[in-house]
Amino acid sequence: MSQHLRGSVVVVTGGGRGIGLACAERVARAGADVALLDLLPEVESVAAALPTPSPAVGVAADVTDPASVAAALDEVSARLGRPTALVHAAGTALVGDALTTSVEDFERVLRVNLTGTFVTAQAFARLCVAAGQPGDVVAIASMSARVVNVPQRQSAYNASKAGVEALVRSLAVEWADLGVRVNGVSPGYVATEQTLGVLEGDPATADAWRSRIPLGDVAQPDDVAGVVEFLLSPASRYVLGQCLLVDGGYTAL
Q: Is the pLDDT reported for residue 1 higher than 60?
A: no
Per-residue pLDDT tens over the stretch 171-189: 999 999 999 999 999 999 9
- Assign 196 a pLDDT band (cuts: 50, 70, 90): confident
CA–CA distance, 73 with 111 (Å, rounded to integer): 20
Q: For the chain, what are the domain ranges?
A: 9-191+221-244
Give the pLDDT band of residue 197 (cuts 50, 70, 90): confident
Average pLDDT, the chain: 97
Which one of 2.40.50.180, 3.30.460.10, 3.20.20.70, 3.40.50.720 gives the CATH number of domain 9-191+221-244?
A: 3.40.50.720
* CA dist., res. 191 & res. 165, Å (int): 22
pLDDT digits (tens, 9 = 90+) for 60-119: 999 999 999 999 999 999 999 999 999 999 999 999 999 999 999 999 999 999 999 999
Q: Cα(90)–Cα(131) distance, rounded to whole angstroms? A: 26
Quick check: 165 and 141 in contact, CB under 8 A? Answer: yes
Alpha helix segments (H runs only) across the chain: 18-29, 43-48, 66-80, 103-110, 116-131, 155-175, 193-201, 203-211, 221-232
CA distances from 59 to 122, 158, 226 (A): 18, 29, 24
Give the tens place of pLDDT for each residue, 36-66: 999 999 999 999 999 888 899 999 999 999 9
- Per residue, what are the HEC states of 227-253? HHHHHHCHHHCCCCCCEEEECCCHHHC
The dihedral built from the CA positions of residue 194, 198, 199 and 205, taken in this order, carries a sign that is: negative
Active site residue 157: yes
Cα dihedral: 31, 32, 36, 37 (round 10): -160
From 157, 189, 238, 250, active-site residue:
157
SS3 for 215-230, per residue?
A: CCCCECHHHHHHHHHH
Question: Would you state the pLDDT for residue 119?
Answer: 98
